[in-house]
Amino acid sequence: MAGGILITGVYGQLGRALAGVCTERGIDFEGRDIDTLDIGDAAAVTGWIETSKPYAVINCAAFTAVDDCESDEQLSSRINGTALGYFAKACNTVDARLVQISTDYVFSGNGDRPYRENDPVAPVSVYGRTKLRGEELTADARHHLVVRTAWLYGHGGRNFVEAIRGQIDSGAKRLKVVADQRGSPTFCDDLAETLLDLISADVGGVVHAVNAGETTWHGFAVAIASLLGKNVEVLPVGTGEFPRPAPRPAYSVLDTSRLLTVLGHSMPPWEDALARYLEATCAS
């Protein structure tokens, strides 16, 4: 395994996408998930990394149930925060690069322009605060990269696209979807390609990576229904119609200027990414 890549959370949507892209590119990798690695176990993390001696560790594992984080801050802190200290220390021992997947939730969501990497962070939820702690501990690794992303969907898991498709397939003729939250829907396959490109280009620090463009959840749902060729009424509603334990950022569009600078290209538009995802899932 020496010289390859380690991927945590490999059963998740992004982990699966990374495994697929590594295979396509002929990159040696090993993936683990909760059944074979508890990332909150310092000895387990250290043993795996020091034995494998990878050149990069990509941490896709996280406690991402945003509302559940509000009621279990201890678990959220252990997985999204503290664990990254173990990764950083072990990566320093074998001189590996640590890549942490972070989130738009580190920002308050009160902005009116896309957030840049150096904008002030001000998370308003337990999930956001614990992911920010994870970023801080990731920076203890000599070679580190924090990639903030948002509104992820991909193959092999629950996501917004499948939730909308599921409602339509079950006969719904009218959907109510939040129209006062803005962001950039991001396809895991595109993000996986970008992560490996960033590692290959030896990029460090913090980078924002989302599919180009922005919309609301309502706009996203309208596009999904249209691409599926379904005649469904999608009604715009306010966040207040769907009260949740964890506050959602009203505006979480991420500025990807640095991504363009370091790689020479941006990620594809979100509309194009959605069309490719739906084409692939419909074909299968």
**Which amino acids are annotated catalytic?**
127
Locate 125 and state its tokens.
């939820």
Residues 6 or more apart whose Cβ sits within 8 Å of residue 68: none
The token pair that represents 59 in the structure block:
């941490």
Query: Where in the chain does DSSP place strands (E)?
Result: 5-8, 29-32, 56-59, 97-103, 143-149, 152-153, 174-178, 182-183, 186-187, 205-208, 215-216, 233-237
The two structure tokens encoding residue 30? 């090993």
Closest CA to 252 of 152, 166, 133: 152
Site of tokens 């909760």: 34
